[in-house]
Amino acid sequence: MSGGTRTLVSPAVLARPRGRAVYWTVFTGTVLLFALAFLFPVYWMVTGALKSPDEVARTPPALVPEHWRTTGYTDAWDLMQLPTHLGNTVVQAAGAWIFQLVLCTAAAYALSRLRPAFGKVILGGILATLMVPTQALVVPKYLTVADLGLLNDPLAIWLPAVANAFNLYLLKRFFDQIPRDVLEAAEIDGAGQLRVLWSVVLPMSRPVLGVVSIFALVAVWQDFLWPLMVFSDTDEQPISVALVQLSQNIPLTVLIAAMVIASVPMVALFLVFQRHIIAGISAGSTKG
Amino acid sequence: MTKTVERPAEAVRTRPARTPPPARKPARRRLAAQGRAYAFLLGGLLCFALFSWYPAIRAIVIAFQKYTPGADAEWVGTDNFTRVFRDPEFADAWRNTLTFTALALLIGFAVPFVLALVLNELRHAKAFFRVVVYLPVMIPPVVSALLWKWFYDPGAGLANEALRFLHLPTSNWSNGADTALVSLVIVATWATMGGTVLIYLAALQSVPGELYEAAELDGASLPQRVRHVTIPQTRFVILMLMLLQIIATMQVFTEPFVITGGGPENATVTVLYLIYKYAFLYNDFGGACALSVMLLLLLGLFSAGYLRLTRSEGEDA
């Protein structure tokens, strides 16, 4: 990939001294722009929480905190009950992930391989939900969850998360591509469907399961409107909702520290799996 | 739809052995196989029925009802629609949403487009650029919104500090009726453009190098090469990204809710925000569903366009 493909600017131009000078100018400019636009706001947030309340309100602001105080972070942890809210978010995200993995995988496998009667109608109905943007249906969905008595219950996050046509279709398309002989060989060996799914299909599906897992976790962690609606009980609220509810009544430095803490898990997940995540997003464009 | 309903039943009845492997199983075994298939399908199917299909139908039903949770619903014809239409916030919400979408298309699409073009030319630090541009996408949207609310603070906010540093006049940003909506578009663009950059970058890499070479031999300048080679070659991805962006930005909620609370003077009330207000502030679920149905119809049009586009492209490839 490096240097092999020809792009807008020809390699010949880049080889000339003037071309090289322009290239390095543009390169440096882009690095500075990216650092300023994307890294600096994050730096400002992390260091803002280390400043004293006076210092954070001072103009012009200091680039580096005078004294590195960690009280912002410790106060946020204690005063805003971050352990509770982070714990709620973890429970909600992990449950949604497990429910999606189990139920979407089973349903996708059935639609792909087990030829249920009316399978095509069901698949059509599932794909049709892709046309209905989720946010536009939050109110009737809320009423349904309320009728089921699931308000202030993590099930209100877990069960609707399963109705994810995008992930289900991703899994089904992957299962469609598994060669028939592989599955038939297992069936001839006397394995039941559950056994075939568990010990033949799933091990082959690790890449797609990884993608679905990341999508599932990130979606719940980042969501705001839905948990805002279904968790009126403060003790059950995930961190995204709690941050906004509490943002009015706490000192700025403490709020900023809480924002940093709320971002750490997703940013860490991203840094660990960045290759897979970036490759997955890039692949999305070519496969459609 | 009706055609597909008939097909499986027909297949079972009239052509049992067309698909070779399961030659002809006895009826009882076939029934057992169906039972197994539905056992696998059941959990997922139930979730779709309860949380996707039923709410879609229910939105339409409640749009024509006076609905209070726990009480009997009353049919009220088109009262909900007329009441919502008369609400002065209705026009504001639609105007704001459409302006937001248009601005997001203008700023939120042009910026990542140019960034991707530049990144595709750079041969160093590729991983750095990709990680850094996607970093804001991984920060929870609520945190991005609160972060920018702090930047826009008229007192010690970073946005005005930057303007003062450059000796430019300061702005009211999200606190001014004229500038609030643009300020929110900047937040949304910052927070989401990583995805657009990465997807467009991948598309740029599939443009054959020979085309650029040929264009250069014909004496095409750099802007001409962008116009006559890059854009036509990536037309499909551009259109797809635009549609996705329209669908996403028409449902904007978090930024106005967290940063401006819909103000100042309703300058940032969006349709989804209004739906939220009808349901949770006015307890008017009929009005909320009437609004939802309108939003649904409009977004459905764009979604249908998107699906059609991806489908036809998938068949070409």
CATH number of the domain residue A147 falls in:
1.10.3720.10
On average, the pLDDT of chain A sits at 89
Written as six digits, the tokens of B150 are: 């702090």
- The span from the CA of A137 to the CA of B59, in Å, is 7
pLDDT at B22: 53
Query: Is residue A216 domain-shared with residue A102, that is, in the same domain?
Result: yes
Highest average pLDDT, of A274-288, B67-81, B179-193, comes from B179-193
A38 to B133: CB separation less than 8 angstroms, yes or no: yes
Query: Is residue A57 domain-shared with residue A95, that is, in the same domain?
Result: no
Interface of A with B in 17-56 (CB under 8 A): 23, 26-27, 30-31, 34-35, 37-39, 41-42, 44-45, 48, 56
pLDDT at B23: 55
Among B42, B47, B213, B292, the residue to mutate for chain A (most A Cβ within 10 A): B47
Angle between helix B126-138 and A252-272 (nearest 10): 130
Q: Locate the chain A residue with the closest alpha carbon to B63.
A: A140
pLDDT at A286: 44
| B47, B54, B226 ranked by CB distance to A162: nearest | B47
B44 to A138: CB separation less than 8 angstroms, yes or no: no
pLDDT at A284: 59
Range of the domain at A38: 11-70
Q: What is the mean pLDDT of residues A254-261?
A: 95
Residue A138 included in any domain: yes
Residue A232 included in any domain: yes
Residue A283 included in any domain: no
Contacts of B151 in chain A (CB under 8 A): 41
A68 CB burial (10 A radius; 0-12, 13-18, 19+):
exposed
pLDDT greater than 50 at residue B307: yes
Query: Is residue A65 domain-shared with residue A171, that is, in the same domain?
Result: no
Among A32, A82, A131, the residue to mutate for chain B (most B Cβ within 10 A): A131
Amino acid identity of B116?
A
Domain boundaries, chain B: 2-62, 82-316
Q: What is the mean pLDDT of residues A121-127?
A: 91
On average, the pLDDT of chain B sits at 86
pLDDT greater than 70 at residue B310: yes
pLDDT at B265: 87
Query: Is residue A224 domain-shared with residue A163, that is, in the same domain?
Result: yes
Residue keyed to tokens 């609220």: A237
B37 to A269: CB separation less than 8 angstroms, yes or no: no
Report whether A64 contacts A47 (CB < 8 A): yes
Residue A139 included in any domain: yes
pLDDT at A13: 85
A259 and chain B: CB distance < 8 Å anywhere?
yes
Compute the nearest-CA separation of A233 from chain B (Å). Answer: 15
Query: Is residue A106 domain-shared with residue A208, that is, in the same domain?
Result: yes
pLDDT at B47: 95
Closest C-alpha to A46, from A73, A12, A17, A24: A73
Q: What is the mean pLDDT of residues A89-116?
A: 94
| B139, B147, B198 ranked by CB distance to A281: nearest | B198
Written as six digits, the tokens of A196 are: 């075939």
| B21, B199, B295 ranked by CB distance to A284: nearest | B199
Residue A88 included in any domain: yes
Query: Is residue A36 domain-shared with residue A126, that is, in the same domain?
Result: no
Residues B273-303 pLDDT 10s: 999 999 999 999 999 999 999 999 988 888 8
pLDDT at B24: 61
pLDDT greater than 80 at residue B162: yes
State how far Cα A74 lies from the chain centre.
27
pLDDT at A4: 53
Give residue A149's pLDDT band: very low, low, confident or very high (50, 70, 90): very high
Residue A197 included in any domain: yes
Query: Is residue A19 domain-shared with residue A157, that is, in the same domain?
Result: no
Q: Give CA separation, B212 vs A9, B209, B225, B235, in Å.
A: 8, 5, 7, 16
Give residue B16's pLDDT band: very low, low, confident or very high (50, 70, 90): very low
Q: In the CATH hierarchy, which fold is given to the domain comprising B82-316?
A: MetI-like fold (1.10.3720)
Amino acid identity of B288?
A
Closest C-alpha to A41, from A245, A240, A260: A260
Among A277, A285, A286, A287, the residue to mutate for chain B (most B Cβ within 10 A): A285
Contacts of A262 in chain B (CB under 8 A): 140, 142-143
pLDDT at A3: 44
Contacts of A241 in chain B (CB under 8 A): 142
A118 CB burial (10 A radius; 0-12, 13-18, 19+):
middle
Residue A108 included in any domain: yes
Strand, coil or helix: what is B210? Answer: helix
A247 and chain B: CB distance < 8 Å anywhere?
yes
Query: Is residue A185 domain-shared with residue A59, that is, in the same domain?
Result: no
Query: Is residue A54 domain-shared with residue A152, that is, in the same domain?
Result: no
Residues B106-136 pLDDT 10s: 888 889 999 999 999 998 899 999 999 999 9
Query: Is residue A217 domain-shared with residue A102, that is, in the same domain?
Result: yes
| B131, B142, B206 ranked by CB distance to A244: nearest | B142
| B131, B250, B310 ranked by CB distance to A274: nearest | B131
Contacts of A138 in chain B (CB under 8 A): 275-276, 292
> What is the count of structural domains for chain A?
2
Contacts of A109 in chain B (CB under 8 A): 40
Residue A106 included in any domain: yes
Query: Is residue A139 domain-shared with residue A235, that is, in the same domain?
Result: yes
Give residue A52's pLDDT band: very low, low, confident or very high (50, 70, 90): confident
Query: Is residue A99 domain-shared with residue A176, that is, in the same domain?
Result: yes
Q: Locate the chain A residue with the closest alpha carbon to B148.
A: A41
Give residue B313's pLDDT band: very low, low, confident or very high (50, 70, 90): low
